[in-house]
């Protein structure tokens, strides 16, 4: 039977009810949630990793070049908005993990230094998934990719803290597994002038090797094990948003095929790193960490 409600629901969404993304991809889910908060009066500039597939389906102005062009075109759009006296438009610049941590890392740093008026979002699925699962600067330690067949030997770059060190007004990590927290952070970013940075680790069943049906579950485990903690840095003050008791990292790692080769020692190493990070965050909670 034809369902009117269903049709109406999709009409109201700012993303079409169909994308070319893989099943279980966090990209469309993120944009669906994000655009609900950002609203129609938004311009999105930039590429994603595979999240590009998701961006092709959004119903608001979108302009992209390649993934070596992150934050730069948005800088131009931002200047054009100023020249036109349009301070009512929200400008979002998007980039994947490879773009944000590798090829366009300098561009994000420069836009942060200039305090460009935009929300820079890193859609982090932890490898070059679009080209077929190659290691990026945001691939975590131990993860299998086609260019790290025995597991990545170095650690993941801490981009949110690096951006925070630029003394930008707002930095936050967010997760599609905690949509209210994500919405609140985008709402806040929208209300602040200057450079805002949102980092979100999104699930990639294809590259991470797990059942697409468990996409949100696995993403939530990432947060709950403190592998991908939720926090924000506003005007240099750290606020840890989710302080729940940490689940063992093994629960997160064990849910994904890409960590299958990890030895017990390696898992212990990951647990140790996560513990240090958690202790550090909690010790500095509600404190000014960027002076």
Positions in the binding site for other proteins (CB under 8 A): 40-43, 45, 60-61, 63, 65-66, 68-69, 72-77, 79-84, 86, 89, 106-107, 109-110, 113-114
Query: Smaller CB distance to other proteins: residue 77 or 121?
Result: 77
Query: Smaller CB distance to other proteins: residue 75 or 173?
Result: 75
Which of 263, 277, 166 lies closest to 230, judged by CA? 277
Spatial distance between the Cα atoms of 199 and 60, rounded to a whole number of angstroms: 21
Spatial distance between the Cα atoms of 222 and 183, rounded to a whole number of angstroms: 19
Minimum Å gap between C-beta 63 and other proteins is: 6
Residue 144 has which token pair? 């299998």
3-class DSSP state of 16: coil
Query: Smaller CB distance to other proteins: residue 75 or 241?
Result: 75
Query: Smaller CB distance to other proteins: residue 68 or 155?
Result: 68
Minimum Å gap between C-beta 248 and other proteins is: 42
Spatial distance between the Cα atoms of 206 and 202, rounded to a whole number of angstroms: 12
Minimum Å gap between C-beta 191 and other proteins is: 18
Minimum Å gap between C-beta 262 and other proteins is: 38
Interhelix angle 26-38/179-191, nearest 10 degrees: 50
Minimum Å gap between C-beta 113 and other proteins is: 8
Q: For the residues of 96-142, what is the DSSP string, one character each? A: EHHIIIIITHHHHHHHHHTT-SEEEEEEE-SSBTTTTSB--TTPPTT
Residue 290 has which token pair? 């960027």
The number of CA neighbours under 13 Å toward the Cβ of 84 is 10
Spatial distance between the Cα atoms of 23 and 25, rounded to a whole number of angstroms: 6
Query: Smaller CB distance to other proteins: residue 116 or 181?
Result: 116
Minimum Å gap between C-beta 14 and other proteins is: 11
Minimum Å gap between C-beta 175 and other proteins is: 27
Query: Smaller CB distance to other proteins: residue 113 or 217?
Result: 113
Query: Smaller CB distance to other proteins: residue 86 or 276?
Result: 86
Total length of the chain: 291
Query: Smaller CB distance to other proteins: residue 109 or 284?
Result: 109
Following CA atoms 186, 221, 215, 147 in sequence, which dihedral angle do they give, to the nearest 10 degrees?
A: 100
Edge to edge, what strands does the sheet with 118-124 contain?
62-63, 42-46, 90-96, 118-124, 195-201, 170-174, 231-234, 237-240
Buried b (16+ CB within 10 A) or exposed e, 211-246: eeebbbebbbbbbbbbbbbbbbbbebebebbeeeee
Minimum Å gap between C-beta 187 and other proteins is: 18
């Amino acid at each position: 039977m034809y369902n009117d409600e269903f049709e109406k629901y999709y009409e109201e969404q700012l993303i079409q009810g169909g994308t070319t993304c893989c099943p279980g991809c966090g990209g469309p889910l993120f944009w669906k949630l994000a655009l609900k908060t950002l609203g129609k009066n938004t311009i999105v500039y930039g590429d994603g990793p595979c999240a590009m597939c998701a961006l092709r389906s959004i119903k608001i102005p979108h302009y992209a070049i390649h993934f070596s062009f992150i934050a730069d075109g948005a800088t131009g759009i931002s200047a054009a908005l100023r020249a036109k006296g349009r301070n009512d438009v929200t400008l979002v610049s998007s980039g994947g993990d490879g773009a944000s941590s590798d090829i366009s890392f300098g561009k994000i740093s420069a836009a942060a230094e200039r305090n460009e008026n935009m929300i820079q979002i890193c859609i982090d699925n932890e490898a070059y998934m679009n080209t077929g699962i190659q290691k990026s600067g945001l691939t975590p330690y131990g993860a299998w990719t086609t260019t790290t067949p025995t597991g990545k030997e170095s650690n993941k770059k801490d981009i949110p803290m690096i951006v925070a060190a630029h003394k930008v007004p707002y930095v936050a990590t967010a997760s599609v597994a905690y949509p209210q927290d994500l919405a609140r952070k985008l709402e806040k970013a929208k209300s602040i002038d200057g450079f805002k940075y949102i980092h979100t680790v999104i699930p990639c069943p294809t590259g991470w090797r797990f059942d697409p049906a468990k996409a949100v579950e696995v993403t939530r485990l990432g947060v709950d094990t403190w592998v991908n903690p939720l926090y924000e840095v506003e005007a240099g003050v750290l606020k840890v948003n989710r302080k729940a008791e940490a689940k063992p990292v093994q629960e997160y790692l064990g849910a994904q095929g890409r960590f299958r080769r990890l030895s017990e020692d390696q898992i212990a190493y990951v647990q140790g790193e996560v513990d240090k990070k958690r202790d550090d965050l909690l010790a500095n909670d509600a404190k000014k960490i960027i002076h």
